[in-house]
Structures are given as C-alpha cells and as structure tokens.
Amino acid sequence: MFDDLCPDAVHHRPRPGGGPALRPLPAAARGVLDPARCAAAREEIAAWPEYAPTPLVDLPGLAAAAGLSRIAVKDESGRFGLGSFKALGGAYAVLRQLKAYIGAQTGREPSTAALLAGEHADIARTLTVCSATDGNHGRSVAWGARLFGLNCVIYIHENVSRAREAAIAHFGAEVRRVPGTYDDSVHRAAADAAARNWIVVSDTSYGDYRDIPRDVMAGYTVMTSEAIAQWHEQADAPPPSHVFVQAGVGGLAAAVCAALDQAYGEVRPRLVVVEPETAACLFASAASGRAAAIDGDLDTMMAGLAAGETSLVAWD
C-alpha cells in the first residue's frame, strides 16, 4: 500500500543543513506572523456565530500499518459550513478591511457585534472587496462579505468547475470568469481593483501587496492552534514528530510553520510541504533559494493547488 502512496516519482527537497536539529526561525520570518497578530485572529474568530473547533481525527489503523505510534488528521469539512480551512482566512481579512474602512469615515472602528447587528450598513454597502480563487478562498471572501454586509466580486479562471462557481455565487458574490490560469485571474483582479477603487482580499502576495495576505494567514493559524491543543489532549502526548501540509501559493504552509514555531520553538515538528508535481512553485523556490514562479498550464487533479507563483509574504 505504501509503495503506491510513495512512488519513486515523488521529488523531495530536504531542509538546508540536514541533521537532526531544527534551526531557529530568523527574526524576520517570525515577524511575518507575530504572536500578537495570530492571537488577535484567534480571539476574533472564536467569537463568531457558529464557531467551533474542527475535529482532530486519530487514525490508529493507518498508524499501525505504517509502524508509527500515532497519526491524526485535521478534518476541516465542517468549518463554518464552507467545508474548508479557507473559511478562516478570507472572511477574517474581509472583516479587518471593513472595520478599517468604517473607522476611517467615523473616527472609530466598530465592533464585530455591531456589524453583525447591522450598524454602519450604509457605509458597508459602499465598499467592494474582490479576489481571485480556485474555489475555496473565493467562497470564504464571499461568505465574509455577505456576513458583514459589503459587496464582493470574485474572479475565477477558465478551468474552475461550474459547481465551484455556483458555490461562490450562492453567497451573493458577482463571479467573473477570465481566460488562463489562476495566476492570470490574480492579475486581472488586481488590475480591476486598482481601476475601480476596490480592495483586493487575496491569499497570495505580490509586489508591495503584503498586509492583507498576512491577515488571511493569521486566520489560518486558528486551525493549527486548535490541532496543537487537540493533539495534547491525550495524557503525556509528546509533540508530533512531523506535520504534513499541502501547498498552493504557500500561505497555509507559512501559517502552519508560524503556529508550530510559536507553540514549540526549536523542538517544533518537522514541517513537510506537499505540492502537485505540475504546480510546484514552492519546490522551485526551495531549489532556487528565492520566491519563484513556474510556467505551464498547472493542470492537476488538486484544483485548489494549481498555482504557479509563490506568495512573497508566505515565502518570507
């Protein structure tokens, strides 16, 4: 079974330096997602209606077959009814932008409770957020926009399924389909936002566009913080030895890395980032030592990971 799961075609690029000890993260890397930013996201999201931690599910059969003491998977299928960890990031960043927008006009940022009660609805309706997506991030942004009463335009590329398009539109967003790949839709959203004075709420970072993706990533750390607490609910449970995470542009991987570092420091688990072979921009970045972009159609069955350009702030 494991020969089928781990074919020879899997490419591996180990952490530079090798050896058993993990080096401390550089101060600059720790500054991307500092503890205060992550704690603010946890406090905010935990107060939202219908918030509940998603389960960490132990897989004893798989662990026994692999000769390991424990394997667990974080099940995000029930997250706010959106079926993905992405619900934590996009909607949180939408809220942050709306509060700042209203605060700039009134002199004081409103509370989340006030926004949910419909206060400042007249101002909220004058703000439009937009984003590009393969599906789940767009649903999160659209859901957040509907929840807090602002306008939303979502850009999808030509290969996004009609079902994903409908799932985004379900939350009231205007959905625009553009030719090309995910990265083409990112560029189109940014151009239209600049021309129309919209706010881009993207999960990827480019150029000087960095702060909003940091908020998205801070939202993702909620999932990892939950998982760490759930892992240690077993009496005397040692830290996990390895954490595996999928990657598109790298935002989730960076968020998991930050949360693990804040919880465990130099005894943190080894983080293994897994990408599709045809959309491995982080692998290319690791090989070159800098944030890289790859060419091609990025065709992969893992549609949500079909990204060719590494998020700059995630790479940092």
| Contact call for residues 155 and 133 (beta carbons, < 8 A) | yes
Q: Which two structure tokens, joined as six digits, stand for 106?
A: 């009134």
Instruction: Please state, in angstroms and rounded to a whole number, the distance separating the CA atoms of residues 93 and 115.
Output: 15
3 noted as active-site residue: no
Catalytic, out of 74, 86, 215, 261: 86
Catalytic residue among 74, 134, 203, 261: 134
- State how far the alpha carbon of 2 is from the alpha carbons of 67, 159, 164, in Å: 11, 32, 32
Q: CA-to-CA distance for 243 and 268, rounded, in angstroms?
A: 10
183 is catalytic: no
Q: Closest Cα to residue 213, out of 255, 274, 244?
A: 255
- Which has the closest alpha carbon to 25: 205, 300, 292, 260? 260
- Strand partners for 138: none
CA 17, distance to chain mean position in Å, is 28
- Angle at 144 (CA atoms; ends 140, 149), nearest 5 degrees: 150
Residues 6+ apart with CB under 8 A from 28: 316
Check: CB of residue 221 under 8 Å from CB of residue 41: yes
DSSP 120: T
d(CA 313, CA 10): 27
Q: What tokens does 250 get?
A: 């790298």
The closest alpha carbon to 300, from 220, 202, 182, belongs to 182
Question: At 112, phi and psi to the nearest 5?
Answer: -65, -40
Sign of CA dihedral 91, 92, 97, 103: positive
Active-site residues, by number, are 86, 134
